[in-house]
Amino acid sequence: MSIDALRGRLPAYAKDIGANLAVLAEETVLSPQAKWGCFVASACAVGEPETLKAVTAAAREAGLTEEGFAAARTAAAIMAMNNVYFRALHLMETPEYRSLPSKLRMNRLAHHPGVETVDYELWCVAVSAINACGACLDSHEAELRARGVAPPQVQAALRIAAVVHAASRVLAVETVDHPPFSGVSG
């Protein structure tokens, strides 16, 4: 299933989501590797099968390398753990927790062979946006800024995350067996 096929599966009420998928598939502010890695990492982060299958097919067709696929999956996996932990620390009022070492293994966060650091950081930003971790968003965005990445590039990663997330949520809702709307109940 391609991005166009994914768009075709979206119901009429999600027409804007489909239009945004088409626009983002043609986005040029990111390199193809960075863009399709954002798509893959975002689809892995939400885990909805149809979206993941369509994004994977589109990324393969666009030439995302096997190293790119592995690194995008790694970003999604590591950030799934980190986003929960660091979001909790960020939300807790007791500052003492922030001074404790996390004691979580994160070697793959620093070692992502086969892809540029900037690409990997963009993928971590995309996943952190989906998982709503402000601390991780700030940390990875600061790393991108330090490496000279322009705000429109970070914004593109955020837009991809938002649209992939929305498409997956719509498709998840559409798979639920629900009765047709029968009007206002009283």
| Residues designated catalytic | 133, 136
DSSP letter string, 5-54: HHHHHS-GGGHHHHHHHHHHHT--SS-HHHHHHHHHHHHHHH--HHHHHH
To the nearest 10 degrees (0 to 180), the angle between helices 134-146 and 66-91 is: 130
170 SS3 class: helix
- Other beta carbons within 10 angstroms of residue 27's beta carbon come to 17
